[in-house]
Amino acid sequence: MTLALTPLISLIAGILILLVPRLLSYIVAIYLIIIGLVGLFGTSINLTP
């Protein structure tokens, strides 16, 4: 079973923004960094145990 990383991160970020609106800038920055790293190193991340 593989897990899509982008939708999971988006869901978690959306929930955190709803709960704590002050985290918006940090969540967006972390999200962009993660998406940038995935774009640079490929999407071969496998999250299966």
Question: Hey, which bits of the chain come out as E strands?
Answer: none
Quote the pLDDT of residue 2.
59
User: Would you say residue 49 lies in a domain?
Assistant: no
Quote the pLDDT of residue 18.
86
Two structure tokens written together for 25: 């800038």
Instruction: Count how many residues are written for the chain.
Output: 49
What is the dihedral sign for C-alpha 22, 15, 40, 49? Answer: positive
Quote the pLDDT of residue 34.
80
User: Would you say residue 31 lies in a domain?
Assistant: yes
Quote the pLDDT of residue 3.
64
The number of folded domains in the chain is: 1
Residue 32: what are its φ and ψ, rounded to 5°?
-65, -35
Domain limits for position 9: 5-39
User: Would you say residue 47 lies in a domain?
Assistant: no
**Crossing angle of helices 5-19/24-41, nearest 10°?**
170
User: Would you say residue 10 lies in a domain?
Assistant: yes
pLDDT digits (tens, 9 = 90+) for 1-49: 456 777 887 788 788 888 888 878 887 888 788 888 878 877 665 555 5
